[in-house]
Amino acid sequence: MADDAFALKPYQMKPYSHKQLIHDKQVYNYRLSRARRVVEQAFGIMSQRFRVLGRPIPLTPAKVELVVMTICCLHNFLLRNTIVANNYITQDQTVTDNNTTTGLASMSKQGSNRYAADAGIIRDKFCQFFNSAEGSVSWQDARVNQM
């Protein structure tokens, strides 16, 4: 999940351009934004506790993946213990839908607006799924209509 600063890739979805969006694409953008916000909030909470996430990790991608998975396990372990959990996330680290605190620097645009056809096909399939009976959620249309 990425924002407009990144290129659309088969492994990296980004929103549709905000020019004259039809309802289905607005739903896709909303669902992608919501998922991205959850990931950013979780990463923000964990990067406050595990400072290694606050800067580039000088390891191979495979080892970085292992470090991040280990941090997720440690995070969940700490949350299971209520005594530790109360001291683990402080009031100033609490994140709400309206206040995203990730501590991440904003990024400038990376590359052009062109993308590979296969990436566009994958994004369109996600759009179709989010708007299908199987993939839609009850509140998505109301949220998009409020925008």
Q: Is 125 within a domain?
A: yes
Instruction: Give the separation between CA 127 and CA 110, rounded to whole angstroms.
Output: 23
Instruction: Give the separation between CA 41 and CA 67, rounded to whole angstroms.
Output: 18
User: What is the residue range of 31's domain?
Assistant: 24-146
Tens of pLDDT along 63-94? 999 999 999 898 888 877 765 555 555 444 44
Residue 92, number of CB atoms within 10 A of its CB? 7
Q: Is 2 within a domain?
A: no
Q: What is the pLDDT of residue 32?
A: 94
Helix, coil or strand: residue 93: helix
Q: Is 71 within a domain?
A: yes
Q: Is 73 within a domain?
A: yes
Q: What is the pLDDT of residue 105?
A: 45
Extract the residue ranges of the chain whose pLDDT is less than 50: 90-107, 109
Number of domains into which the chain is organized: 1
Q: Is 5 within a domain?
A: no
Q: What is the pLDDT of residue 100?
A: 43
Instruction: Give the separation between CA 10 and CA 43, rounded to whole angstroms.
Output: 23
Q: Is 15 within a domain?
A: no
